[in-house]
Chains A and B, each alone.
Chain A
Amino acid sequence: MSLLTIQDLTVEFPTRRQLFTAVDHASLSVEPGEIHGLVGESGAGKSTIGAAVMGLLERPGRIASGQIKLGGDQISGIDAEAMRELRGKKISMIFQDPLTSLNPLFTVREQLVETIQTHLGGSEAEANKRARDLIDRVGIPDPDTRLDQYPHQFSGGMRQRVVIALALCTEPDVIIADEPTTALDVSVQAQILDLIKELAQERQVGVILITHDMGVIADTTDRVTVMYAGKVVESGTTAQVMGQPQHEYTRSLIAAVPRPTLKLHRFPQISYGGRETRFAVEDMARHWPKVNNDASKQLFEIRNLTKKFLQKRGLLPWDRTYFTAVDDVSFDIRAGEVFGVVGESGSGKSTVARMIAGLYPVDGGSITFDGQLVSDLGNRAVQDEYRKNIQMIFQDPYSSLNPRMRVDEIVAEPIRHHRLMAGSDIRRRVDELLDQVGLGSGAGLKYPHEFSGGQRQRISIARALATQPRFLICDEPTSALDVSIQAQILNILKDLQEHLGLTMLFISHDLPVVRQMCDRVAVMKQGQIVETQDTSDLFLRPKTEYAQELLRLMPKLDDLSTDGLGVEEE
């Protein structure tokens, strides 16, 4: 008999106007010691299944039909107090963001002991011992000291280990892990997934791993269930679903995953359930100023760039301590190329981008753009011209657009600021841009919240292109987006580079994406560049140990089906 069985589960959210069915007759089962992947794009209903199992559906959501059974006993529809008994004791949950899922005002010990005593009772000494064992088990060094620290004193990966320890507190039978590694770096992600695998084996816990990341699914899970719009479209062993997907949606989803081993000219679009929005880059190219990209010419020369941040304030200068975010970084960007910067969080890659964009003053070194020194922010004339030529696309399409401004105002702002046009010309230009990025000119009258994440990123692109720049800085442009939307946005960026002759600085922690996008890559670690290579060379013959390690930890995706990729091997 299965550990956890979900049969024909339907979850509905009644709203004022209509009934929204978040999960539609979904079934799956988990065996002891098995990791069951639940994959799909945002809005597919995978987290709702997790919440339904935990009995933590947000109001007014309700289970409309179907059953959830734990070891043969029905747990859907039981009363709240009985459900609370089960939570934590029989079923635990791991959340996505380890930074916010621990209470900041209590020590790790307090939170562990409290949970242990709630479910197992027992003396404080016993609970303390158990807490120490758990912290030790999840691989946190020096458990005695660490137990009495507060969550903010732990790094992201260590915090997720604490969260796992909390979830394991009372020997649950089932753990629901909702995107447990999405907020973590590649190397940390690999460690956490290994830990979950080990623990599932060791304790014969059934794990439902909810994720949108096909790499995580392929590397970690035993079985997988694919969801689309609330429905289960395909279910089976991981090898089978990933290797020979049967359903059309699964096939297009797998095809859209960037591969570290294959370089594709363009990403295949997810064709299921919707059409690609047109992006008229050729129209744009017609009015674009001709750029003469002499590939031998360096567009950017960056020399000995350094940035220090004040870490500890002090009354006296010698009391202050500084953190060197960027340490003596030098590189060149050739005209017309896409230059990638990869590294883990805190490696200083975004700081480099912000210094190039002139958002942070440089503390040392120089930036030269097209033969002109631009790192001196005091020189207004040079700065104005330079800033017109560089534009930036940010990671989070939700916070990088002002929610109180209409979309046409957002796109027009750079034009107005640089006084490139006046009056009705501006409106015509904005309408044209919005049309060209595939939103239609009517989009200008709406506000950012009326658009989806992918559409918002298109608005960001339209805004960045408004001044007809020569250089784009893309800071993790797709890491907040679903795989299918990511494919669209990356294709757009590729088109821009190809047709408009744009040069790009592409910052990402996602190695497969970098592989697809970049001509050359710099690998950053703790504020320094450890290696700069042509992309294909880096992936085939990494020179430094650190780059080798990063590549080793990257999900391999070798087992994924290569249907519909139009493979173009190197």
Chain B
Amino acid sequence: MFAYIVRRMFQSVIVLLVVGLVAFSMFRFVGDPIDNMLGQERTQADIDRLRTELGLDQPFVLQYAKFLKGAAQGNFGVSYRQGRPVSTILLERAPATLELAFVSGFLAITMGIALGVFTAIRRQGMAANVIMTVSLIGVSLPTFLIGILLIYIFSVELDLLPSFGRGETVMIGKWSTGFLTTSGLKALILPAITLGLYQMTLIMRLVRSEMLEVLRADYVRFARARGLSDRVINFRHALKNTLVPVITITGLQLGSIIAFAIITETVFQWPGVGLLFINAIQFVDIPVMAAYLMLISVMFVTINLVVDLLYYAIDPRLRVDARAT
């Protein structure tokens, strides 16, 4: 077990280093930050001076090494655009994204599992078929289109919910939360649905097909032959077995909820890290981009590790000490 974790950590570090290297090799193609930083009145001497100052004249490998050196000490550099430390900016923006991701992730998992189980048990029923058909929309429509549709219906036509922003927020220490005000909660609804819909339908379809598989298994037949009630069979025996493979996909999906919040945040002008990243790309704000990408990859790698450890917790067959006797 311990050896396993050590090996996984080692692999994780390698993955992170490679992601960073690829990211830095790409930055040159995004554009030249100098163009945006200096005004109309610049001279070639200004450009050269700033370039040397920022270290942009060096090969990307050296830039990357410099970034790593700083990052190891907790210093992610200074944003070209805002002139403030990147870590401060990220910390300011993170609560908005995390709250949004938490709500939509929660929605996606609870609704996804509930609907998945329902459609698997009532496989022949009318309601299950309707849900399955509707879920196709969730899988096939792109996120931004769903966002725009929701804005059109609930903000423009019905005028029930705000179409952009976070509403009022309350500061708790350094954390700005939208959970405590009515306008904050109202503002959360549409983006959360937009962001979680795809994940929800995906989890639902996954749970359904796994559950159908499990319901055909011999131990479910044997449980039926022992006269256990349908409720016990479906929700105790079958559901737990269903969740084993579902966990992997769901874990990765949670990662992508945070990572792909970019689109939703853009559509709803949600002041989170995703929007920050989009703005950073437009301005070629290399320190912000680098920090954001590293953050996302750290998150994915961690989620992956947690998912693998969860496997051990759920499935006794994987525990090392357990050997057939």
| A102 x B225 contact (CB < 8 A) | no
A62 within 8 A of B: no
| A115 x B226 contact (CB < 8 A) | yes
B109 to chain A, nearest CB (A): 20
**Chain B residues in 8 Å Cβ range of A313:** 3-4
Number of A-B residue pairs at CB separation under 8 A: 95
| B218 x A150 contact (CB < 8 A) | no
| A118 x B225 contact (CB < 8 A) | no
Tell me the bound Cα distance from A358 to B222 in angstroms: 40
B102 to chain A, nearest CB (A): 28
B223 within 8 A of A: yes
B219 within 8 A of A: yes
**Chain B residues in 8 Å Cβ range of A86:** 227
| A84 x B237 contact (CB < 8 A) | no
Of the listed stretches A17-25, A30-38, A92-100, A482-490, name the one at the interface; the rest are far from the partner chain: A92-100
| A101 x B219 contact (CB < 8 A) | yes
| A150 x B322 contact (CB < 8 A) | yes
B7 to chain A, nearest CB (A): 7
| B232 x A315 contact (CB < 8 A) | no
| B325 x A153 contact (CB < 8 A) | yes
**Chain B residues in 8 Å Cβ range of A118:** 226-229, 232
**Chain A residues in 8 Å Cβ range of B325:** 153-155
B42 within 8 A of A: no
B320 within 8 A of A: yes
A105 within 8 A of B: yes
- Partner of A101 from the list B6, B7, B222, B232 (CB cut-off 8 Å) is B222
A114 within 8 A of B: yes
Given contacts A153-B322, A314-B3, whether A92 and B317 have CB atoms under 8 Å apart is no
B84 within 8 A of A: no
A218 to chain B, nearest CB (A): 27
- Partner of A166 from the list B4, B226, B314, B323 (CB cut-off 8 Å) is B226
Tell me the bound Cα distance from A352 to B317 in angstroms: 28
Q: Which residue of A lies closest to B323 (CB)?
A: A153
Most A CB within 10 A of own CB, among B222, B226, B324 = B226
Q: Which residue of B lies closest to A80 (CB)?
A: B230
- Partner of A100 from the list B3, B219, B322 (CB cut-off 8 Å) is B219
Chain A residues near B (Cβ < 8 Å) = 54, 56, 84-89, 92-93, 95, 97, 100-106, 114-115, 118-119, 150, 152-155, 163, 166-167, 169, 311-316, 319
Q: Which 4 A-B pairs have the closest CB atoms?
A: A88-B227, A315-B3, A87-B227, A93-B225
20 other contacts beyond A101-B222, A154-B324, with CB at 8 A cut-off? A54-B225, A56-B221, A56-B225, A92-B225, A92-B226, A93-B222, A95-B218, A101-B221, A104-B219, A105-B244, A106-B237, A115-B226, A118-B229, A118-B232, A154-B325, A313-B3, A313-B4, A314-B3, A315-B2, A319-B3
| CB-defined A-B contacts under 8 Å, sample of 15 | A56-B221, A84-B227, A87-B225, A88-B225, A89-B227, A100-B217, A101-B219, A104-B241, A104-B316, A119-B227, A152-B317, A153-B325, A155-B325, A312-B320, A313-B3
